[in-house]
Amino acid sequence: MFEEQLLLRPSENQVEVTIASAGRRMGAYVLNIIFSGLAYATLLFAAIWPLRNYSNRAKGSDMAELATTDWSMPWLFAGLAIFLIYGIWQLVCMSKNGQSLGKKILGIRVLKMDGSNPGFWGTVLLREVLYNIIVAITAVALGFVLIFILGLPSSSLETIVNLSSFLATLICVVMLFNRKKSRRTLQDYLADTVVVQLPKK
């Protein structure tokens, strides 16, 4: 299969890398959604299940006894611990190696265009946090403009924001297939990064 090559550090000590395929990048994105969903579901389960258990115990039980027993705390702490450990682990891996869990599984990573590691600033703050803030602000601003100009009901703001966010995602997906631009997405241009395929061990 044809692999696209890119030279980093064009002025000194050139490094040739292989651009990550669109399939691998989308696969990593889907894996990250699944893993994040599982971590969140664990926290949600830990919060809801004890309440169900409490309700069942409350039937025919002494309410004074139930009031002094906190059935949910161990569950909540366990769910919160799993959620936090997953989140911190993701942040550390992304900062240290330019890899989320999904990227690590599929053997791809983020590099700066000069070949260096983007670190926490580039991989997390710019590519994830700042990018999503920009998309959210742009979507909300567009919603207010369309509501003001077209006279749409204010209740349509949420729909406009969701469509705008979806459009930003769609643009990034399309950019993944642009070989001439090294498959760089909006996040890559914002953080001056590129996603590369790691050599097989």
> Could you read off the pLDDT of 163-194 as tens digits, one per residue?
999 999 999 999 999 999 999 999 999 999 99
For the ranges 38-42, 77-81, 101-105, the one whose mean pLDDT is highest: 101-105
| Cα 90 from Cα 84, distance rounded (Å) | 10
CA distances to 24, 44, 128, 195 from 38, rounded to whole Å, are: 21, 10, 20, 25
Question: What's the confidence (pLDDT) of residue 52?
Answer: 58
Ramachandran class of 45: left when φ > 0, alpha when ψ lies in -120 to 50, beta otherwise: alpha
Question: DSSP state, 60?
Answer: T
| Cα 139 from Cα 156, distance rounded (Å) | 12
Average pLDDT for 67-71? 47
User: Angle CA(171)–CA(162)–CA(147) in degrees, nearest 5?
Assistant: 110
Long-range CB contacts for residues 33-38, cutoff 8 Å, separation at least 24: 35/86, 35/101, 35/102, 36/86
Query: Among 20-24, 81-85, 94-98, where is mean pLDDT lowest?
Result: 81-85
Is 68 a residue whose pLDDT tops 60?
A: no
Is 41 a residue whose pLDDT tops 90?
A: no
| Cα 87 from Cα 64, distance rounded (Å) | 38
Residue 137: band (very low, low, confident or very high) from pLDDT cuts 50, 70, 90: very high
Is 76 a residue whose pLDDT tops 60?
A: yes
Quote the distance between the C-alpha of residue 96 and its chain's center.
17
Kindly state the tokens that stand for 183. 């498959």
Strand-pair partners of 195: 110
CA distances to 27, 110, 115, 123, 128 from 39, rounded to whole Å, are: 18, 23, 32, 21, 18
* Beta-strand relationship, 5-8 and 108-112: unpaired
> For residue 137, how many C-alpha atoms fall within 13 Å in the half-sphere facing its CB?
6
Is 63 a residue whose pLDDT tops 70?
A: no
3-state secondary structure at position 111: strand
